[in-house]
Amino acid sequence: MLKIAVYGKGGIGKSTTVSHVAAALAEKGLKVMQIGCDPKADSTLLLRGPEEMKSVLDLVRKRKNDFTLKDMVREGYAGVICVEAGGPAPGTGCAGRGIIAALEKLGEKGAYETYQPDVVLYDVLGDVVCGGFTMPMRPGYAEHVFVVTSGENMSIHAAANIAAAVENFQDRGYAKFGGIILNRRNVKNEEEKVAELAEDLHSRIIGSLDRSETVLDAEELGKTVLEAFPDSEMAAQYRKLADQIMSSLGVALC
């Protein structure tokens, strides 16, 4: 089982990217689980459609421990297993602590043993890398961390912070930094700025995505591009990115 955490600044297109990578890997016959680690609990929306889904923390708040693993998951496009950690009630608690509680509850309910995924993708908000938001990096969870960024200054700053967090934990056996995914916003000198970031981090750009109206059109339909427009250029880009991520980890896909 390959376990990957994808971080990025809020609004950078991280959840969209993760969902498309999950869909692309599932299309190739892999069993994929996507775990949304964002308090908004909307990571897997494009995969599972508008059907209501309770987050793990919603279930814990309302039902304590009186629920099953099936209550925590939904099957999405191409069989992707979707999970949303959720967050505390507005104005109460700590979102980071919520992630810890949700991931621990998944373990208690035997999620990985039951579904036996080939790939687990953790979709993690990366504006602040502290406390529970580092939980997916810890032993037993993700083995590799990728970061989604554009050439926008705040996005690059967040990416640098995430990489620094991974480096700070490297002596503890936490996840390793896998590289950068460029999600273009067509800002000035974008390619150069992200390439410079990769060099500063002693890392590399694993793959890149164009800014495209096709993605927005698919989102309006509540679907991934791979489902809504499978023969489009953007669908090809997402499939290529999935291949590039796996190749960077030494996994060849047919």
Whether residue 14 lies in the annotated active site: yes
Instruction: Please say if 105 is a catalytic residue.
Output: no
- 10 Å CB burial of residue 167 (0-12, 13-18, 19+) is middle
Cα–Cα distance for residue pair 3/120, rounded to 1 Å: 5
Q: Around 61, how many Cα atoms within 13 Å sit in the side-chain half-sphere?
A: 14
3-state SS assignment for residue 190: helix
Question: Do the beta carbons of residue 69 and residue 109 sit within 8 Å?
Answer: yes
Q: Tell me how crowded residue 178 is: count the other CB atoms within 10 A of its CB.
A: 22
Choosing from 14, 54, 105, 109, the catalytic residue is 14
Q: Is 54 a catalytic residue?
A: no
Q: Distance between CA atoms of 171 and 214, rounded to whole angstroms?
A: 42
Catalytic residue among 42, 118, 127, 217: 127
Q: Could you say which of 3, 9, 109, 193 is catalytic?
A: 9
The one catalytic residue among 28, 31, 40, 176: 40
Say how far apart CA 146 and CA 30 lie, in whole Å: 20
Q: Is 31 a catalytic residue?
A: no
* CA 144 from centroid of its chain's CA atoms: 12
CA distance 44 to 58: 16
Where in the sequence numbering do the catalytic residues fall?
9, 14, 40, 127
